């Protein structure tokens, strides 16, 4: 199958591209290199640099490459930034997605996978969070993803569009060749590992007064390769109908547990200091992935936090300056 991957030069997108190619698919990457890196794009993929804001560029892309399916990763993805600059999310994330969907319908592409988010669940009634949970977006970022989910819902009903919305919890880890390299970096595991590499003095723990076992926030870290496999399974299942899945390991770890595990793996003391809470952080986010396990047979292969951090540590050691060497 020929798959168009928007954001295929970014962290998750580039690893999904790698796994798609290993699974024998043909891949076209479309990325504006805003957060992505040319060096992250698998050499066997066709790479087109461009912006989803440019509708005619998207039309040209689909005309020329005629993909059978689209995986849409290209997006602004930071909760905090979206609280400061909501229009970047409610504007760009939404209109870029709309451009892509309109062009897809026009060009007869009716298979679509959306990167969605755990930020749809700001007030979960139950933990772990399953797909029956009430949607309460936690920020303009989460709202922008929810708007795209709703567009997909209606395209399914009006245009025989088949989609999967995959709601990621905390993607982490690396493949042998590709890893996480954001500017600026805001995510816990790469920040902790940059301390171990001597690039930062310490990590600030954003609050230790949450109602959790050690006072720090609990998150469900899912290995990016397991996440990639879920995309491939979802792609192959689209013929059988549209679907929405929560994706995590079903296990939560605190910020302090992540830091301690990184100390054990790296052998570095990784100094940590308690700071203020980060606005918008829920205390606990853990996914129930029973639905995708049951329906598609998805089974995480790297569910252990140690495996996840070890893979990231190997990649960061091999690429101490990220993709910029
Ligand atoms: N966190 C932290 N210090 C940092 C970065 C993150 O204490 O420098 C915490 C953050 O408050 C959250 C957890 O680590 O509880 C995971 O944050 P991250 O930004 O990696 O992912 P998020 O859960 O926001 O998607």
pLDDT tens across 144-188, in order?
Answer: 999 999 999 999 999 999 999 999 999 999 999 999 999 989 999
* Alpha-carbon span 8 to 13, nearest angstrom: 4
Residues in the chain with pLDDT values less than 50: none
Give residue 18 CA to ligand 1 midpoint distance, Å.
Answer: 27
* Alpha-carbon span 305 to 63, nearest angstrom: 43
Alpha carbon 213 to its chain centroid, in Å, reads 27
| Residue 206 alpha carbon, nearest atom of ligand 1 | 7
* Alpha-carbon span 230 to 293, nearest angstrom: 9
Nearest to residue 280, comparing CAs of 111, 90, 139, 126? Answer: 139
Give residue 40 CA to ligand 1 midpoint distance, Å.
Answer: 24
Same domain as 259, residue 126: no
Give residue 108 CA to ligand 1 midpoint distance, Å.
Answer: 40
Do 298 and 237 contact (CB within 8 A), yes or no? no
Is residue 180 included in any domain, yes or no? no
Active-site residue set = 141
- pLDDT computed for residue 296 by the predictor: 98
Q: What is the pLDDT of residues 255-300, one digit of tens each?
A: 999 999 999 999 999 999 999 998 878 899 999 999 999 999 999 9
Which of 230, 247, 264 finishes a domain?
Answer: 247
Q: What is the CATH number of the domain that holds 9?
A: 3.40.50.720
Please spell the DSSP secondary structure of 49-103, one letter per residue: E--TT-HHHHHHHHHHH--SEEEE--S---HHHHHH-HHIIIIIIHHHHHHHHHH
Our count of domains for the chain comes to 2
Same domain as 279, residue 210: yes
Is residue 182 included in any domain, yes or no? no
Same domain as 205, residue 85: no
- pLDDT computed for residue 325 by the predictor: 62
Give residue 321 CA to ligand 1 midpoint distance, Å.
Answer: 21
Q: What is the CATH number of the domain that holds 282?
A: 3.90.25.10
Substitution site in 193, 278, 285, 286 for ligand 1 pocket (most atoms within 8 Å of beta carbon): 278
Nearest to residue 131, comparing CAs of 314, 263, 294? Answer: 294
Same domain as 98, residue 230: yes
* Alpha-carbon span 260 to 256, nearest angstrom: 6
Peptide bond before residue 128 is cis, with ω within 30 degrees of 0: yes
**Structural domain of 53:** 2-172+222-247
Which of 231, 247, 263 finishes a domain?
Answer: 247
Is residue 23 included in any domain, yes or no? yes
Ligand 1 pocket member 188 (CB < 6 A): yes
* Alpha-carbon span 322 to 93, nearest angstrom: 26
- pLDDT computed for residue 114 by the predictor: 98
Same domain as 258, residue 238: no
Substitution site in 137, 188, 211, 212 for ligand 1 pocket (most atoms within 8 Å of beta carbon): 188
| 263 backbone dihedrals φ, ψ, rounded to 5° | -65, -45
Same domain as 75, residue 132: yes
Q: How many CB atoms lie within 10 A of CB 2?
A: 14
Residue nearest ligand 1's atom 16 by CA? 188
Q: Which residue has the tokens 């790479």?
A: 47
Same domain as 115, residue 261: no
Same domain as 255, residue 135: no
Nearest to residue 241, comparing CAs of 289, 294, 296? Answer: 296
- pLDDT computed for residue 281 by the predictor: 86
Same domain as 105, residue 6: yes
Same domain as 202, residue 69: no
pTM (whole model) above 0.95: yes
Ligand 1 pocket member 165 (CB < 6 A): no
Same domain as 197, residue 314: yes
E strand map for 179-217: 203-206
């Amino acid at each position: 199958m020929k798959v168009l991957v928007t954001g295929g030069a970014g962290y998750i997108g580039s690893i999904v591209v790698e796994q798609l190619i290993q699974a024998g698919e043909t891949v076209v990457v479309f990325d504006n290199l805003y957060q992505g890196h040319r060096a992250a794009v698998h050499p066997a993929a066709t790479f087109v640099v461009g912006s989803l804001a440019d509708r005619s560029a998207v039309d040209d892309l689909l005309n020329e490459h005629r993909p059978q399916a689209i995986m849409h990763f290209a997006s602004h993805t930071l909760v905090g930034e979206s609280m400061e600059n909501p229009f970047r999310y409610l504007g760009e994330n939404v209109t870029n997605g709309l451009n892509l969907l309109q062009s897809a319908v026009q060009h007869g592409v009716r298979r679509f996978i959306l990167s969605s988010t755990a930020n749809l669940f700001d007030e979960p009634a139950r933990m772990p969070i399953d797909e029956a949970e009430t949607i309460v977006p936690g920020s303009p970022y989460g709202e922008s993803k929810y708007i795209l989910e709703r567009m997909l819902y209606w395209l399914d009903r009006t245009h025989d569009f088949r989609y999967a919305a995959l709601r990621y919890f905390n993607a982490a880890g690396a493949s042998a060749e590709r890893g996480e390299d954001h500017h600026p970096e805001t995510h816990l595991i790469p920040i902790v590992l940059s301390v171990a590499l001597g690039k930062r003095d310490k990590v600030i723990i954003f609050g230790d007064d949450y109602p959790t076992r050690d006072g720090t926030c609990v998150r469900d870290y899912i290995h990016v390769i397991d996440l990639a496999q879920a995309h491939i399974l979802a792609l192959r299942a689209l013929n059988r109908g549209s679907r929405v899945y929560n994706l995590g390991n079903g296990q939560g770890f605190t910020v302090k547990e992540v830091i301690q595990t990184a100390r054990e793996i790296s052998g570095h003391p990784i100094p940590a200091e308690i700071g203020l809470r980060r606005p918008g952080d829920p205390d606990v986010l853990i996914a129930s992935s029973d639905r995708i396990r049951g329906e598609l047979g998805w089974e995480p292969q790297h569910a252990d936090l140690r495996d996840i951090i070890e893979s990231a540590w190997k990649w960061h050691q091999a690429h101490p300056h990220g993709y910029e060497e």
